[in-house]
Amino acid sequence: MNKRLLFLLPLAVFVVLAVYFAIGLTRDPSALPSVLIDQKVPDFELPPIKGHERGLTSEDLKGQVSLVNIFGSWCIACQVEHPFLMKIKGENRVPLYGVDWIEKTPDDGPNWLKKKGDPFTLIGDDPNSKAAIAFGVYGAPETFIIDENGVIRYKQVGPMNDKIWEETIWPIIRELRKRGQKDAR
């Protein structure tokens, strides 16, 4: 009897591996875990984009829960996401900061925003990936949720939409705000 079972062992191993690989195939290889979750926002200081007065620094991200969105006028997924960002701005629920990443010319970002609307409270220009690398960004758009102490709490890879917002982003923001109020008392 035992010997018979031994013959089934390769089949059992195969089934286990097949299940593992099948699960692996359904996962998106470009969605990598961030090592920066629960770490302080890296120190950075970005100049303003052309035509704007203020840039963006890590200091701006302290004091309240905020979102940092890495975008570029060259990035197709950012175009898809843009109307949603405008909607968030319209609802005025949370400050949204922008990092304008590796534009071909200094005019590209400002022109894009002029044409489509500017959803950002402040924007920093990042032509050499200084902030992008500090944030561990590898594609646009990426959005970070920063708590009021300037700690990174969540990273969204790829464009946000209503579903992601309602199911993930907004609950985290609400939770962080609740926690912040408790600490203040």
Residues that bind another protein (CB under 8 A): 29-30, 32-36, 42, 102, 128-129, 132-139
Q: Tell me the DSSP string of 132-151.
A: HHHTT--SS-EEEEE-TTSB
* Nearest to another protein of 136, 180 (CB atom): 136
Q: Which of 55, 38, 34, 54 is nearest to 150 (CA)?
A: 38
Q: Which DSSP letter does residue 40 get?
A: B
* Beta carbon of residue 127, minimum distance to another protein (angstroms, whole number): 9
CB-CB neighbours of 164 under 10 Å: 15
Instruction: Give the chain's length.
Output: 185
* Beta carbon of residue 15, minimum distance to another protein (angstroms, whole number): 17
* Nearest to another protein of 16, 133 (CB atom): 133
* Nearest to another protein of 145, 173 (CB atom): 145
Q: Which of 42, 40, 44 is nearest to 148 (CA)?
A: 40
* Nearest to another protein of 38, 166 (CB atom): 38
Q: Give the tokens for residue 185.
A: 């008392």
Residue whose entry in the numeric block shows the structure tokens 């950075």: 44
* Beta carbon of residue 10, minimum distance to another protein (angstroms, whole number): 11
* Beta carbon of residue 9, minimum distance to another protein (angstroms, whole number): 11
For residues 54 and 31, what is the distance between their CA atoms, to the nearest angstrom?
32
* Nearest to another protein of 88, 137 (CB atom): 137
* Beta carbon of residue 31, minimum distance to another protein (angstroms, whole number): 11
